[in-house]
Structure 1
Amino acid sequence: MISELQYSSSLTGASFLLYELKQVIGLKVQGLNDKEIKQRVTEENLFQYKYESSIKRSLPSVLRRVNALDETLFQMVLEEPLETGKIINLYAIMKTDRLFFEFMDEVIREKYEFHNLLIETKDLNLYFTVKAEQDNKVAGFTEKTVAKLKQVFYKVLFESGILKDKKTGELSRLLIDEDLKEYIIRIGDGQFVKAMGH
């Protein structure tokens, strides 16, 4: 359950990583375990990163996301259009990152519900202030970490298609494939679909 997850700032080293997610799912489908995947990604530079340190930073998050998905979702990421892959990646981020899920659930979902399709800096500031009051771990984040998390939240919103325009903060509603939506609800994860505004 998401409520059992600790709040963490691991998203600062991760961001959206859809290309990386696809690479790792491809290896998973071939039957490789996490250790073998780490080896292949590093040795063959499958993420096409300039520095190995970047792989070390992002791979744990990618593996966590992949391990939160099942075979059906793997196939969808590999075979369905890019938009479906984006939605599944967003779902995997929410499933593995409590701070981001609650942001989607408490801030973005509410905006959709009230037809207020605009996100502003103050929305993020307020969210982090409230979380810091509720949780000691979040309260212990440095200003630099919080600033980086805000940046990454924006980036994830933008790359998933929720944030239409970075400058104006205009949001758009996600179009979720009906089969995907029904499948996520059927496996008991309807709360994530709701957080995406559906």
Structure 2
Amino acid sequence: MSQGYSAGFISGSEHLYRYEIKQVLMLLDQGLDKKQIKEKAFQENFFRQKSHQANIVLLRKVFKRVDQLDEGLRRLVQNGISADVNAILLYAYLKCYRFFREFIYEVVVYLHEQGQRRVTQSDIVDFFERKEEQSPKIRNFTPETKQKMRQVMLKACNEAEYIIPGETEWEIRPVPISGELRDYVREHPEHRMLVEISLTGEW
């Protein structure tokens, strides 16, 4: 079943969830299941949310990201180099949201393959216009929603040190993933997107 478009990633303070994912992985390693982790989060509020409902929403999003990762990738998130962690967290994010994933492939990856090293305002506008033509759902999003989508995607890319904001453009920076992660992807080709989005050559 194909994944539909969603603007769900703009809600709240959506980002890579670096701290939150590492905390959940640590608790899973300690033998806690999802229900127990939820109870612990509610009781101790170690994610520092303002309400019970905010904790529920956050944990739902974090578990959704964690579920995209197998044991090998989870281990690298906990113990790998910074570049590997950035790539894996961005990968988990993209797996959850089709629109963001298509932005990365159709704008960032495409431009890099064409030898360009900058994302311009025009590139982003063209992408949104193309998606509006392809999807009535995207076409019906409000201007405010589309602006928020743009902001959240660029913020996440910056957090992953993937594209860096300048005055009017964004610099594309390949993620220098380790040989260990690259070898892991070769052994588990279902994760080839990890190397593709890293912009560091064939997987």
Q: What TM-score results when the alignment is normalised by the length of structure 1?
A: 0.88
- Partner residue, 1:177: 178
Conserved? CA contact 1:108–1:197, under 8 Å: no
SS at match of 1:48: coil
Conserved? CA contact 2:49–2:55, under 8 Å: yes
* Counterpart residue type for residue 5 of structure 1: Q
RMSD: 2.0
Deviation at 1:90, TM superposition (A): 0.7
Conserved? CA contact 1:162–1:174, under 8 Å: yes
Q: Which residue of 190, 193, 200 maps to 1:191?
A: 193
SS at match of 2:78: helix
SS at match of 1:119: strand
- Partner residue, 2:124: 124
Q: Distance in 1 between matches of 2:163 and 2:112?
A: 12
Q: What is the aligned residue count? A: 196
Q: Distance in 2 between matches of 1:91 and 1:56?
A: 23
* Counterpart residue type for residue 184 of structure 2: Y
Deviations 1:17-62 (A, max 9, x none): 2111111111222233333222222322222345555434433221
Percent identical pairs in the alignment equals 30
Deviates more, 1:45-54 or 1:62-71: 45-54
Conserved? CA contact 1:157–1:163, under 8 Å: yes
Unaligned 5+ segments in structure 2 are none
Unaligned 5+ segments in structure 1 are none
- Partner residue, 1:164: 164
- Partner residue, 2:10: 12
Q: What TM-score results when the alignment is normalised by the length of structure 2?
A: 0.86
Q: Distance in 2 between matches of 1:136 and 1:39?
A: 40
Conserved? CA contact 1:101–1:195, under 8 Å: no
Larger Rg: 2
